[in-house]
Protein backbone atom coordinates (compact mmCIF):
# COMPACT_ATOMS: atom_id res chain seq x y z
CA UNK A 1 0.00 0.00 0.00
CA UNK A 2 1.33 3.46 -0.82
CA UNK A 3 0.34 6.99 0.13
CA UNK A 4 0.51 10.22 -1.83
CA UNK A 5 1.76 12.94 0.48
CA UNK A 6 1.63 16.68 -0.10
CA UNK A 7 3.50 18.80 2.38
CA UNK A 8 5.97 21.65 2.67
CA UNK A 9 9.60 20.56 2.72
CA UNK A 10 12.21 23.15 3.65
CA UNK A 11 9.94 25.96 2.52
CA UNK A 12 8.91 24.43 -0.81
CA UNK A 13 5.87 22.37 -1.75
CA UNK A 14 6.58 18.65 -2.05
CA UNK A 15 4.39 15.90 -3.48
CA UNK A 16 5.58 12.35 -3.31
CA UNK A 17 4.39 8.79 -3.00
CA UNK A 18 5.70 6.46 -0.29
CA UNK A 19 4.84 3.04 1.12
CA UNK A 20 2.34 3.34 3.98
CA UNK A 21 4.72 1.73 6.46
CA UNK A 22 7.45 4.35 5.90
CA UNK A 23 8.48 6.59 8.75
CA UNK A 24 9.46 10.22 8.25
CA UNK A 25 13.08 9.06 8.33
CA UNK A 26 12.43 6.52 5.53
CA UNK A 27 10.59 9.22 3.56
CA UNK A 28 13.49 11.64 3.80
CA UNK A 29 16.44 9.31 3.32
CA UNK A 30 15.05 6.64 1.03
CA UNK A 31 12.19 8.47 -0.65
CA UNK A 32 13.76 11.88 -1.17
CA UNK A 33 17.51 11.15 -0.90
CA UNK A 34 17.96 13.78 1.80
CA UNK A 35 20.75 12.14 3.73
CA UNK A 36 21.41 14.90 6.28
CA UNK A 37 18.86 13.35 8.66
CA UNK A 38 20.72 10.49 10.32
CA UNK A 39 19.49 6.99 11.14
CA UNK A 40 20.72 6.25 14.65
CA UNK A 41 18.96 4.10 17.24
CA UNK A 42 15.63 3.59 15.46
CA UNK A 43 13.68 3.82 18.69
CA UNK A 44 13.42 7.53 19.42
CA UNK A 45 16.20 7.74 21.95
CA UNK A 46 19.32 9.16 20.28
CA UNK A 47 17.95 12.20 18.45
CA UNK A 48 20.07 11.82 15.29
CA UNK A 49 16.91 11.81 13.13
CA UNK A 50 15.38 14.94 14.68
CA UNK A 51 13.53 17.15 12.19
CA UNK A 52 11.02 19.94 12.69
CA UNK A 53 7.34 19.28 12.01
CA UNK A 54 5.36 22.53 12.07
CA UNK A 55 8.27 23.97 14.02
CA UNK A 56 8.31 21.30 16.73
CA UNK A 57 11.16 18.82 17.00
CA UNK A 58 10.14 15.22 16.27
CA UNK A 59 11.97 11.93 15.86
CA UNK A 60 11.86 10.91 12.20
CA UNK A 61 12.32 7.25 13.12
CA UNK A 62 9.11 6.94 15.13
CA UNK A 63 6.74 9.27 13.29
CA UNK A 64 4.85 7.65 10.43
CA UNK A 65 5.39 9.43 7.10
CA UNK A 66 1.60 9.85 6.80
CA UNK A 67 1.76 12.43 9.61
CA UNK A 68 3.51 15.05 7.44
CA UNK A 69 0.52 15.48 5.08
CA UNK A 70 -0.42 19.15 4.88
CA UNK A 71 2.28 20.17 7.34
CA UNK A 72 5.72 21.80 7.16
CA UNK A 73 8.93 19.78 7.54
CA UNK A 74 12.36 21.32 8.06
CA UNK A 75 15.46 19.16 7.76
CA UNK A 76 19.10 20.14 8.09
CA UNK A 77 19.12 20.71 4.30
CA UNK A 78 16.67 23.56 4.94
CA UNK A 79 18.90 25.33 7.45
CA UNK A 80 21.12 28.13 6.12
CA UNK A 81 20.98 29.67 2.68
CA UNK A 82 23.95 30.83 0.66
CA UNK A 83 26.07 30.26 3.73
CA UNK A 84 25.64 28.69 7.14
CA UNK A 85 23.09 30.17 9.53
CA UNK A 86 24.05 31.41 13.00
CA UNK A 87 23.75 28.00 14.66
CA UNK A 88 25.83 26.26 12.00
CA UNK A 89 28.40 29.04 12.14
CA UNK A 90 28.68 28.81 15.93
CA UNK A 91 28.87 25.00 15.91
CA UNK A 92 31.88 25.37 13.60
CA UNK A 93 33.45 28.26 15.53
CA UNK A 94 33.11 26.50 18.90
CA UNK A 95 34.24 23.08 17.73
CA UNK A 96 30.83 21.67 18.65
CA UNK A 97 30.97 18.90 16.02
CA UNK A 98 33.45 16.07 15.96
CA UNK A 99 32.23 13.06 13.98
CA UNK A 100 29.16 15.10 13.04
CA UNK A 101 26.59 12.32 13.19
CA UNK A 102 24.51 13.99 15.89
CA UNK A 103 24.97 17.51 14.52
CA UNK A 104 21.92 17.80 12.23
CA UNK A 105 19.64 16.71 15.08
CA UNK A 106 21.41 19.03 17.52
CA UNK A 107 21.02 21.99 15.16
CA UNK A 108 17.31 21.34 14.63
CA UNK A 109 16.58 20.84 18.35
CA UNK A 110 18.51 24.04 19.08
CA UNK A 111 16.61 25.86 16.36
CA UNK A 112 13.28 24.87 17.87
CA UNK A 113 14.48 26.17 21.24
CA UNK A 114 15.65 29.52 19.87
CA UNK A 115 12.35 29.97 18.02
CA UNK A 116 10.48 30.11 21.34
CA UNK A 117 13.27 31.33 23.65
CA UNK A 118 15.60 33.88 22.06
CA UNK A 119 17.88 34.19 25.08
CA UNK A 120 18.05 30.80 26.75
CA UNK A 121 20.13 29.95 29.79
CA UNK A 122 22.64 27.10 29.66
CA UNK A 123 20.06 25.07 31.59
CA UNK A 124 17.41 25.78 28.95
CA UNK A 125 19.81 24.61 26.24
CA UNK A 126 20.62 21.43 28.10
CA UNK A 127 16.91 20.71 28.60
CA UNK A 128 16.17 21.30 24.91
CA UNK A 129 19.05 19.04 23.83
CA UNK A 130 18.40 16.38 26.48
CA UNK A 131 17.25 13.91 23.85
CA UNK A 132 20.14 14.45 21.44
CA UNK A 133 23.01 12.16 22.29
CA UNK A 134 26.60 13.01 21.33
CA UNK A 135 29.26 10.41 21.94
CA UNK A 136 32.21 12.66 20.99
CA UNK A 137 32.10 16.14 22.47
CA UNK A 138 30.82 15.86 26.03
CA UNK A 139 28.23 18.55 25.21
CA UNK A 140 30.08 21.56 26.66
CA UNK A 141 31.00 23.01 23.28
CA UNK A 142 27.56 22.27 21.89
CA UNK A 143 25.90 24.23 24.69
CA UNK A 144 28.42 27.06 24.18
CA UNK A 145 27.67 27.13 20.46
CA UNK A 146 23.90 27.38 21.01
CA UNK A 147 24.34 30.15 23.59
CA UNK A 148 26.65 32.00 21.20
CA UNK A 149 24.15 31.65 18.37
CA UNK A 150 21.52 33.14 20.66
CA UNK A 151 23.82 36.13 20.99
CA UNK A 152 24.76 35.36 24.55
CA UNK A 153 28.26 35.35 25.85
CA UNK A 154 29.64 31.86 25.96
CA UNK A 155 31.62 33.07 28.93
CA UNK A 156 29.17 31.20 31.16
CA UNK A 157 31.73 28.55 30.53
CA UNK A 158 31.56 26.34 33.53
CA UNK A 159 28.55 24.22 32.76
CA UNK A 160 27.87 21.52 35.29
CA UNK A 161 28.00 18.02 33.93
CA UNK A 162 24.67 17.01 35.40
The footprint of another protein on residues 58-77 (CB under 8 A) is 58-59, 61-64, 66-67
Choosing from 100, 115, 118, 127, the residue that interacts with another protein (CB under 8 A) is 127
With contacts defined by CB under 8 A, name the span among 73-81, 90-98, 124-132, 136-144 that binds another protein. Answer: 124-132
Residues whose CB is less than 8 angstroms from the CB of residue 129 and which lie 6 or more positions away in sequence, other chains included: 47, 106, 109, 110, 113, 139, 142, 143, 146
Choosing from 128, 142, 145, 150, the residue that interacts with another protein (CB under 8 A) is 128
Total residues at interface with another protein (CB under 8 A):
31
Does the protein bind another protein through residue 21 (CB under 8 A)?
yes
Q: How far apart are CA 95 and CA 111, in angstroms?
A: 18
Let me know if 114 is exposed, middle or buried by CB neighbors in 10 A (0-12, 13-18, 19+).
buried
From the CB of 82, what's the least distance to another protein, in Å?
A: 29
84, 77 Cβ separation under 8 angstroms: no
Query: For another protein, which is the closer residue by CB, 21 or 95?
Result: 21
Query: For another protein, which is the closer residue by CB, 76 or 81?
Result: 76
Q: How far apart are CA 83 and CA 24, in angstroms?
A: 26
Q: What three-state secondary structure class fits 2? A: strand
The footprint of another protein on residues 132-161 (CB under 8 A) is none
Taking the mean position of all CA atoms in its chain, how far away is CA 49?
A: 7
Q: How far apart are CA 55 and CA 46, in angstroms?
A: 20
With contacts defined by CB under 8 A, name the span among 42-50, 85-93, 95-103, 144-152 that binds another protein. Answer: 42-50
Q: Which residues bind another protein (CB under 8 A)?
A: 1, 3, 19-23, 26, 42-44, 47, 50, 53, 56-59, 61-64, 66-67, 109, 112-113, 127-128, 130-131
Amino acid sequence: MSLVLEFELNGRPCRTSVPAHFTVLDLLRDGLALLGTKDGCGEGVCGACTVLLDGEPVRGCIVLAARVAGRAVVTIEGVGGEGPDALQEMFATHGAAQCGFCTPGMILSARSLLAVNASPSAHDVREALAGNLCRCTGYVKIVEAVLAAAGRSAACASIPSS
